[in-house]
A and B are shown apart, each in its own frame.
Chain A
């Protein structure tokens, strides 16, 4: 038996969730400098949409159901992201960051409590159960579900990386992050690119929501709050605005937390994460892979 190997797998799974959500934070921040406080709640909505799809398809084979839930929930949350951007954030793009951030807190409250009002405060249990089977890797018990989650997450991240690097839209995103005015002057539809960014970020958060919902089996309306904060920590850790940074930060936070909790006791796990956040912001505000740029005024 290999405890460290198992803790490593635990860290990779939770790190995958953090990374997927952190990407959305980082992309949105990179492009419009908004700390999208409601991003964690998008993850929660993803889990609930997945729950709805799985409940509706309860007769279908496991993998068909999971595939449909994954696709449908990711798309639905992507659209939710578009809607939120259009209604709540776009009219405020020229306002101060404070106004935007307060709006984001409002959106977060509305999403959380809207789901609570619609579906009740109690927990929902995902109608599917993942097989417990797995294999032994170097003496550590690893389930296929864990491997599948890590593989799916890494796959999504590679796709995103290719999109941002190779497509015209990706190039436009990077351009807006550097200088929105100049980008607009070049005839690039800035708002459409921002909307797309929200779509992709929310898509990733929603897919993380489905994966986590199915993996843990239990969802409720507050599930996005803590995870959202952690994912934000992850994106700051890696350097907010940097996509590889967000991925790195997510996995790094997963490791630090898992091993920190194992060493110090689970009750200190969150303190550990937040202390890391404050230390990073204080000592190296640009994060590990962030650009060393100053705040543009």
Chain B
């Protein structure tokens, strides 16, 4: 017990030190690095949101950027056209994201697991193209001139303001996700992911829980979108394409599916690696692709997985048996 308490203290110390370092970072960093880290926090939030769907509940969502877009556009339109204060657009964006999560999730979640991936992909494209076609969403040039927000009397203007805003939001999301993971709901999701039939036999309604995961993911994505809109002050449909969804998915898979610190690591990787390799920017997706294949073969549980966990197995084991090996 003494050993663990020592480790606990060491880890608390490390966490505190890290947080302190992150809070002091703006004092030494240039605007550029503030911007990069702000992006990283932002992807941490998105990846944590998608992790609920993919990591906890084991559902593949290839159109996560759609929820992110819904949040961003809700805030963008409400603040520029109707001059609604930023904070009031937040619940509206969350509600719309949740609603679209139900609308797309309710029919799709009854389907085979891999059909869901394609339905979400299609949904993502529909949202992007619709945003591109409608005048309400500013068509292809998108919405610009989104006012900087005022949060509790404090106007957020500088890089530093947004750095702190996203840092705090990322920490809050992380803590919320950790509570969620170990809650009754979080355990139910993992049970469904590991064995849906067994979960159902234990009285867990897989459909309801899957829908819940989908909606939670959608809401987190939508909220991230509202912050994105006020941070960038300009949003365009091309920011919400399929590659955006793949990037967020990569963050989740790279670090460790379903494992929160791993997801954070993944989010940092997808932001920092391309920045570090700006010179080799054209290699970036090629390397990502190769990395995905290699990881699925050698380390499907991610770079920083939890304990000795296996990815869910499906009935294809039969095929292996059939090979006469």
Q: Using a CB–CB distance below 8 Å, which chain A residues touch chain B?
A: 32-33, 35, 88, 91-103, 105-114, 116-117, 121, 180-181, 183-185, 189-191, 225, 229, 232-233, 236, 267-268, 270-271, 274-275, 277-278, 281-282, 285, 295-297
Contacts and interface: CB of A to CB of B under 8 A. Distances in A.
B112 interface: yes
A278 B119 contact: yes
A266 to B, nearest CB: 10
B145 to A, nearest CB: 24
B118 A277 contact: yes
Given A33-B316, A109-B288, A232 B311 contact: no
Nearest to A179: B318
Contacts of B279: none
A113 B285 contact: yes
B262 interface: no
Contacts of A271: 125-126, 129-130, 133
Interface in B284-325: 285-286, 288-293, 296-297, 300, 311-324
Contacts of B311: 95-96, 98-99
A238 to B, nearest CB: 15
Contact of B322 (A106, A114, A180, A278): A180
B317 to A, nearest CB: 5
Interface residues of B, number: 54
A98 B301 CA distance: 12
Q: Which 10 A-B pairs have the closest CB atoms?
A: A184-B322, A109-B289, A106-B292, A113-B286, A274-B122, A110-B289, A282-B107, A106-B293, A94-B320, A103-B296
Nearest to B104: A278
Contacts of A109: 246, 285-286, 288-289, 292
B125 A270 contact: yes
Contacts of A102: 60, 249, 253, 292, 296
Contacts of A96: 311-314, 316
Nearest to B321: A181
A189 to B, nearest CB: 8
B286 A110 contact: yes
A107 B126 contact: no
Contacts of A92: 296-297
A277 B246 CA distance: 20
B119 A281 contact: yes
Nearest to A98: B60
Nearest to B257: A98
Given A113-B286, A190-B323, A281-B111, A93 B133 contact: no
Contacts of A98: 58, 60, 113-114, 311-312
